[in-house]
Structure 1
């Protein structure tokens, strides 16, 4: 019988981080893919990633509505609890052999606890990294629950082992997002045509110079998001360049960031800015390859950005201490600091590829290990 691998996708970031693995699992003759879509992945205000998943050919085996409205620290905690209430029912119905969870988000914590209490082996991707905020705490907590680990770099692998995990359960396979970067085939005309039909604001020419902004709330700095993103957008406006702005994720403080973007859009209706809810990886990554600079606090600047060589400005504390390449410079939150950092990156231009997070073959590696590993609930694995 095929081994059933259940992947829980809770956000657009989850999907781009695990899509290559989902493809590899679905294609593996010894594995059966199960997909649970939940949290912001189901909601139109965050781009309805579930629709993209279905267009990509994945069957959704269960839908998990767990996101409590408000995007505050309290609602994020409540959403985690709601996910923990609902996921056991889903797992009981699907009867997975392994649950595969991604990274460090609050829905990932709910997935982890549900699987652990139900004695289902847990596989964890992208563990062992440091970032200096609550995501790091969640990431390390999941590591201690996980049965098998798929870190994205050697530094992360070593840290997982230092946390007490058995070395033969920790596999440096690279980041699955690099698989998508290495394999994208979209040309500029296809990307441009889709962009023109998405979002609001100024027209956008992907063949011209442009900036790309992706800024999310920082949970530990709740209440500061509106001011922070206003400074970012103000710095971009000073440069007078086309700017593509993505909406934030669903973490606590999301509404603050969204409010800052809306106010800026209303106050500067003639700015050469286009605002888009969500872009699938096949469009976002070619844009990263063409942008003059990626600005904000998304991990994509550090992961995919290093692989592509995208000049990037990392703002604030959300990615503190995360391993990075020479494509990234750090900036504080003031408009003057951000503007200076962008100008520095514009002078530097495209940088050589630095594949510190993998070579683009993580998906097949993870699928093969999941197909051949022998699990037990005491976290002992043999091959």
Structure 2
């Protein structure tokens, strides 16, 4: 009798699901693997878009749910949320007894996954290690690299960095980013295939999108969280002054999110924003379709650096959140300046789409990762490489 290897994948936030969706599918379809999907943290919360609803709609069976987010969106809440995550995930892992735990990227909830698995001697696989951004995410990402046993990185530079951290070359693989798998599916799309207002609701005006539109996704910066309201107000002023059809997405759960959200609500009440519509969340593929047919993405989301580079979508990247991350040819960096943001947006619209960049993969990461999870030796100890 063939015993399937049990793979526990922990999804903690809406971007994490898009990052790992094709991996989940490939694991689920693999004859020798059993998927144990754990959904936790902000992925379960309505105020951040209830990513869990999209996960269930896509047909994935959830093995466990972990509610561990403390309200407050500040540094103390983030630290305590991490601690609660360790407690709760330890219980889940003890119940499910996975052969491998998979954790994604660099969020504080991801750290909880890595610590719990490591202390329980469960082999840990990390997706998207080795990258740099210059904020708290980088500390978390590199810490998880040292806790992880297998590394599925998204670029050659990331692979080199993981190796320089002393990891075993036999356990480091440049698979590309699984989110590019989804982007590849929409790359050749000729028109937006759905009405975003009808399908996703949201609030605000409903501008005509037929002659082009902007997309905004701006999160707080954890190392600058006290300035999150000031930061978002600069972007709001620029978008208001340009007065172009704009689809704006709500921020994530990071420290400073209260300031970002409050800034948006206050500005919206004062100015009405006659050409802006707000969404909490979208299915990953629909969001990429929306980006694919937009004129420009504005903000500081990594989707601008990764998926938009592959899709050739112009990006105005604001501030330090993506500092030092590898770039394709689609983005321009600006400081928090209303005038500079406006100029950069108009210039991006004028230049139009850029050439697709495969810097973060070419669209087959999910299958590669599933195959590696099936054949890699089960180990939770380190081979010293330094």
Same fold (TM over 0.5): yes
CA separation of 1:193/1:251 partners in 2, compared to 1, >3 Å: closer, same or farther? closer
5 Å-filtered alignment, 1:142-181, equals: 142-181=144-183
- Alignment partner, residue 222 of structure 2: 219
Q: What displacement does 1:142 show?
A: 0.3
Greater displacement, 187-196 / 362-371? 187-196
Say if 1:192 and 1:205, in contact at 8 Å, map to a contact too. no
Equivalenced residues, count: 381
One of 206, 216, 220 as aligned partner of 1:203: 206
1:72 and 2:74 aligned? yes
One of 342, 346, 350 as aligned partner of 2:349: 346
Greater displacement, 99-108 / 225-234? 225-234
Kindly provide the CA deviation profile for residues 295-323 of structure 1, in whole angstroms up to 9, marking residues without a partner as x. 00000000001100100000000000000
- Alignment partner, residue 284 of structure 1: 287
5 Å-filtered alignment, 1:110-149, equals: 110-149=112-151
Say if 1:46 and 1:277, in contact at 8 Å, map to a contact too. yes
CA separation of 1:58/1:196 partners in 2, compared to 1, >3 Å: closer, same or farther? closer
Greater displacement, 182-191 / 84-93? 182-191
One of 258, 263, 266 as aligned partner of 2:261: 258
- Alignment partner, residue 316 of structure 2: 313
Distance of 2:341 and 2:244 partners within structure 1: 15
Task: Structure 2: give runs of 5+ residues left out of the alignment.
Answer: none
CA separation of 1:362/1:52 partners in 2, compared to 1, >3 Å: closer, same or farther? same
Q: What displacement does 1:189 show?
A: 6.0
* Structure-2-length-normalised TM-score: 0.96
- Alignment partner, residue 365 of structure 1: 368
5 Å-filtered alignment, 1:216-255, equals: 216-255=219-258
- Alignment partner, residue 44 of structure 1: 46
Q: What displacement does 1:268 show?
A: 1.9
Say if 1:305 and 1:312, in contact at 8 Å, map to a contact too. yes
Q: What displacement does 1:208 show?
A: 2.9
Task: Structure 1: give runs of 5+ residues left out of the alignment.
Answer: none
SS at match of 1:101: strand
Say if 2:192 and 2:289, in contact at 8 Å, map to a contact too. no
Distance of 2:131 and 2:266 partners within structure 1: 35
- Alignment partner, residue 329 of structure 1: 332
Distance of 2:374 and 2:255 partners within structure 1: 37
Distance of 1:16 and 1:194 partners within structure 2: 21
Distance of 2:198 and 2:230 partners within structure 1: 27
* Structure-1-length-normalised TM-score: 0.97
State the Cα RMSD in Å.
1.5
SS at match of 1:171: strand
Q: What displacement does 1:195 show?
A: 4.8
Q: What displacement does 1:337 show?
A: 1.7
Distance of 1:337 and 1:258 partners within structure 2: 23
Greater displacement, 344-353 / 153-162? 344-353
Q: What displacement does 1:196 show?
A: 5.6
Q: What displacement does 1:63 show?
A: 0.6
CA separation of 1:273/1:4 partners in 2, compared to 1, >3 Å: closer, same or farther? same
- Alignment partner, residue 268 of structure 1: 271
Say if 2:200 and 2:279, in contact at 8 Å, map to a contact too. no
